[in-house]
Amino acid sequence: MLDAMVMLLGLLLALLGFAPAPDPALEEAWEEWKSFYAKEYPREAEATRREVWEKNLRRIQQHNWEQSQGQHAFRLAMNHYGDLTDEEFNQLLNRFIPAEREGLVQLFQASAARKTPAEVDWRAKGYVTPVKNQGHCGSCWAFSATGALEGLVFNRTGKLVVLSEQNLIDCSRKLGNNGCHGGYMTRAFQYVHKNGGLNSEHVYPYTAMDTSSCRYNPQDRAANCSTIWMVDQGSEAALEQAVAAVGPVSVAVDASSFQFHFYKSGIFSSVFCSQWVNHGMLAVGYGMSQEHGHNVSYWILKNSWSEVWGEQGYIRLLKDGGNQCRVASQASFPML
């Protein structure tokens, strides 16, 4: 009975807002972080955001300490998402919707006859535009799709044109995409196919908002596609052949773990990332590195969380490690 009363009292105090006090030793770091990322909060929200940020910071420090003891192959760092809880982050940013292969979509399978180079990096061949930032909008699917289309346009024209995610957000709703609340790469390609084109970022800039109506202008067509391919689901061998043969390929991963949100460098793998895919990215190559006398293979994935995140906006994800983060589960690409 007493125990129950003490618990109830604790609960009441928590409800009344007696949150743990901010750590005064972190005052300067907090102010610097806010100013660096231009964060401003209403007075009543600041304490909560500070608490979330401190918790994230401590988890990052703990991980990096474990990494220094040889427990992890990758490091974490604080970034512009430091004031979000894991749940808020995933609600806001991880909005890819997994799809079955539908009507138009063709299947790309691994073939023993196709030989692939040991390493591929399409960035070095001019196929990849600078890293973008999706902001507070669940439009990862649109960034993943433009990335694959940008590679295709480069292959056909020799010109690297930054393509418009907003065009996809505003105009592909009829195909089942849902703007900042999620979508599918394959349906973005279907839109481009049916629409007969896509505009460039230059003429159709990104607003990170859901509210505008479609402003596609056929006079300014900057990309095209005629067929859509889905890579044999779950096959990293097929994904490797597609990346080697075609160019950058759209992929989806499970990016819901805390470690993924704050990834900084190294070869990422996590037991917490093999649930369901929820984030669209772009596979721009793969490679191998020597780690403590072992060869470790990795995918090179472009993200849309700005250059602050990861290795200048990219992640190296463990390859041939049992479909890490389910990277080969929802890969697709457009063709002309």
- Contact residues toward ligand NAG (CB under 6 A) are 118, 155, 158, 196-197, 221, 224, 295
Long-range contacts of 40-48 (CB under 8 A, 24+ apart): 47/19, 47/22, 48/19
Q: Is 303 a catalytic residue?
A: yes
- Which is closer to ligand NAG, CB of 69 or CB of 295? 295
Nearest CB to ligand NAG, comparing residues 196 and 205? 196
Q: Are 228 and 106 in contact (CB under 8 A)?
A: yes
Q: Which is nearer to ligand NAG, 106 or 212 (CB)?
A: 106
Catalytic residue among 195, 199, 303, 323: 303
Question: What DSSP designation does 129 have?
Answer: P
Nearest one of 305, 319, 316 to 144, comparing CA atoms: 305
**Among 295, 270, 300, which Cα is nearest to 285's?**
300
Q: How far is the CB of 197 from ligand NAG (least distance, A)?
A: 6
Minimum distance from residue 311 beta carbon to ligand NAG (Å): 21
Tokens of 111: 């073939």
Q: Which of 63, 79, 140, 193 is catalytic?
A: 140
> Hey, what amino acid is at 155?
N
Beta carbon of residue 200, minimum distance to ligand NAG (angstroms, whole number)? 11
Least CB distance from residue 88 to ligand NAG, whole Å? 40
Give the nearest distance from C-beta 289 to ligand NAG in angstroms.
10
Catalytic-labelled residue, pool 199, 261, 279, 325:
279
Cα distance between residue 84 and residue 50, in whole Å: 10
Are 326 and 276 in contact, with CB atoms under 8 Å apart?
Answer: yes
| Sequential DSSP letters for 140-207 | HHHHHHHHHHHHHHHHHHS----B-HHHHHHH-GGGT--TTB-B-HHHHHHHHHHHT-EEBTTTS---
Known active-site residue 140: yes
Residues forming the active site: 140, 279, 303
